[in-house]
């Protein structure tokens, strides 16, 4: 049974990426009481089946009091299998994640509501899942299997998407709410993805938040995006592209602040995956996020 109130508050975190790993460690080594990093998120698949020496960095962060929380990109909870998930899931992937989770002892794990595998082929992309009843049942079955397999709470992330493959039977928020209720799981709410989808698909971002079951929000992602994307594509009408490689826009901060007025969350992550600026600029963004969290009375320090 999903029990958000029993989950610990982790405060503000940063995505641990190879390009800023050294700077992140140096910052934590020299941190003061005003530190902006309480925990770190890793892309889980990047740390499975690695030599022990390559995992020492995770142990060093944990030894310095920084919990590691995994976020997956390849669990493909939107994939419909010909047989049961237990018979069909990639056993090597699951076993690798189990070994990693033994090391880092995470409070929960997560992945996007998307499809990365079809008929055994890895697509190397987060393919959107159609907003139909059949997809709800598929995603719910996969989540229940994964929670049983790992004995950890699972969070679904709302992905950015640029097209729909099948005519929807429900809205995106209705789709996510049905999954949350039927799977009895938590929500990793990416506020940048909300903003990106709202602009590209012409709906109101705050109304979208109001239509979600925000009581299940455990973790939040906040990131930047690329604007004026239509200038780079002929005959396309995408207004913005989700990149995690730009400065966070004020409109996204406004959504984040609005969310914190609506519900308590247990962890907030600044997500930067590319086009890295000077590390001091990342810390400045973290400081701004931290201030917004303080203003909302969200617990920042453990």
Q: What is the pLDDT of residues 92-116, one digit of tens each?
A: 999 999 999 999 999 999 999 999 8
Indicate the pTM of the whole model: 0.91
Q: Give me the chain's average pLDDT, please.
A: 89
pLDDT value of residue 232: 46
Instruction: Residue 41: name the closest of 115, 104, 99, 102 by CA.
Output: 104
**Whole-Å CA distances, 231 to 49, 81, 194:** 41, 39, 22
Strand partners, 241: 226
Q: Provide the residue count of the chain.
A: 302
CATH 3.40.50.720 holds for 4-232+241-295: no
pLDDT value of residue 132: 96
Instruction: Residue 64: name the closest of 34, 16, 28 by CA.
Output: 28
pLDDT value of residue 226: 58
- In degrees and rounded to multiples of 5, residue 175 shows phi and psi of -60, -50
- Terminal CA-CA length for the chain: 25
**Whole-Å CA distances, 188 to 89, 103, 227, 243, 267:** 22, 23, 24, 18, 9
Q: How confident is the model at residue 233 (pLDDT cuts 50, 70, 90)?
A: very low
């Amino acid at each position: 049974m999903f029990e958000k109130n029993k989950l610990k508050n982790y405060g503000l975190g940063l995505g641990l990426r190879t390009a800023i790993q050294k700077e992140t460690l140096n910052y934590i080594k020299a941190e003061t009481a005003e530190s902006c990093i309480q925990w770190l998120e890793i892309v889980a698949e990047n740390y499975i089946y690695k030599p022990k020496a390559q995992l020492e960095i995770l142990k060093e962060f944990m030894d310095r009091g920084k919990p590691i929380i995994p976020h997956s990109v390849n669990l493909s909870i939107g994939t419909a299998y010909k047989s049961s998930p237990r018979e069909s899931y990639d056993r090597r992937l699951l076993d690798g994640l189990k070994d990693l989770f033994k090391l880092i002892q995470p409070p929960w794990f997560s992945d996007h509501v998307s499809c990365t595998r079809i008929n055994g082929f890895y697509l190397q992309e987060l393919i959107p899942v159609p907003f139909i009843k059949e997809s709800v049942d598929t995603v719910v079955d996969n989540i229940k299997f994964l929670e049983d397999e790992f004995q950890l709470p699972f969070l679904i992330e709302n992905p950015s998407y640029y097209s729909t493959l099948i005519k929807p039977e429900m809205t995106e928020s209705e789709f996510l709410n049905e999954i949350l209720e039927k799977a009895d799981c938590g929500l990793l709410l990416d506020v940048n993805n909300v903003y990106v989808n709202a602009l590209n698909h012409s709906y109101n971002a705050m109304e979208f938040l109001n239509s979600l079951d925000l009581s299940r929000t455990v973790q939040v992602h906040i990131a930047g995006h690329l604007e004026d994307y239509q200038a780079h594509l002929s005959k396309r009408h995408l207004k913005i592209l989700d990149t995690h490689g730009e400065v966070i826009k004020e409109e996204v901060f406004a959504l984040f602040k609005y969310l914190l007025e609506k519900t308590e969350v247990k962890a907030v992550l600044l997500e930067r995956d590319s086009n890295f600026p000077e590390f001091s600029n990342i810390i400045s963004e973290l400081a701004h996020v931290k201030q917004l969290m303080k203003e909302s009375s969200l617990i920042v320090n453990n």
